[in-house]
Amino acid sequence: MNILVIEDEERVADIMTKYLEKEGFTVFTCYTGQTGLDTFYSQKIDIVLLDLMLPDIQGEEICAQMRQVSNVYIFMVTAKGTLDSKIEGFNLGADEYLVKPVSPREVVARVKALDMRKQREENKNTLIFDKGRLKIYLEERIIKVNNEEVALTPNEFDLFYELASSPGRVFTRDQLIEAVMGIDFDGFDRTIDVHIKNLRKKIEEDTKNPKYIKTVTGIGYKFEGDTV
């Protein structure tokens, strides 16, 4: 994640930056509100650590400007510790309100917790296999192999997602037809075989020895994929 630190106390800002960079985050450090806004508008920022008492622009105004154009996570880090100040901060759109003095370790812990939560949310509708070689995005209805998007028909996508969402489970042709085409489908169960054949051509490196879509003789198909 990219983190923007806007803090006029250079020593505090530099310590915070070092702690965050040690955890692998990319940090943009600014000592004035205007340079902070300029950086925010020019870079892709995921989290803002915002001091409220800055020499040029008050942090509340910076927060309000950011909220007009972005849903970026904003952590207010300030000496203003009254209840009214906290309520005002949250009303302006702050996601966290930390009162100084605050330990850099606590800030890092909160940032890491947010990072983990974001990853869980982003991956909720994404299936990833084979160390990222194969990715299936449910909401976008996209499949990527080696980061290259694979063009699938709607039925092909639904079929592949149905198999991949339950690795190891053996599906009969009738189960796949019902799941993908509906119980009222008026056709032959071998229709699934045609879709599987087409999927293998698009997904598998070796269609004669498929890695992902396995045939279970006399029953149907199953998906095998390494989720590590």
pLDDT digit string, tens, across residues 37-67: 999 999 989 889 999 888 899 888 999 888 8
Paired residues of 49 in beta bridges: 5, 75
For residue 169, what is the DSSP state?
A: -
Q: Are residues 119 and 59 in the same domain?
A: yes
Give tens-digit pLDDT for 145-203: 988 999 888 889 989 999 998 899 999 988 888 887 665 444 555 778 888 999 999 99
For residues 86 and 147, membership in a common domain is answered with no
Whether residue 25 sits in one domain with residue 80: yes
pLDDT band for position 104 (cuts 50, 70, 90): confident
User: Do 169 and 63 belong together in one domain?
Assistant: no
Which of 95, 123, 151 marks a domain boundary?
A: 123
Q: What is the pTM for the complete model shown?
A: 0.55
**Residue 179 corresponds to which tokens in the numbers above?**
């799941």
Using 50, 70 and 90 to split pLDDT, how confident is the model at 227?
A: low
> Is the bond preceding residue 154 a cis peptide, omega within 30 degrees?
no
Q: Is the pLDDT of residue 118 over 90?
A: no
What mean pLDDT is reported for the chain?
A: 86
Q: For residues 101-115, b (16+ Cβ closer than 10 Å) or e, as one string?
A: ebeeeebbebbeebb
User: Are residues 105 and 19 in contact, defined by beta-carbon separation less than 8 angstroms?
Assistant: yes
Q: Are residues 102 and 20 in the same domain?
A: yes
| CATH code, domain carrying 17 | 3.40.50.2300
- Give the per-residue pLDDT at 119: 67
Domain that holds residue 92: 2-123
Q: Judge whether 74 lies within some domain.
A: yes
At which of 65, 98, 123 does a domain end?
123
Q: What is the pLDDT of residue 186?
A: 46
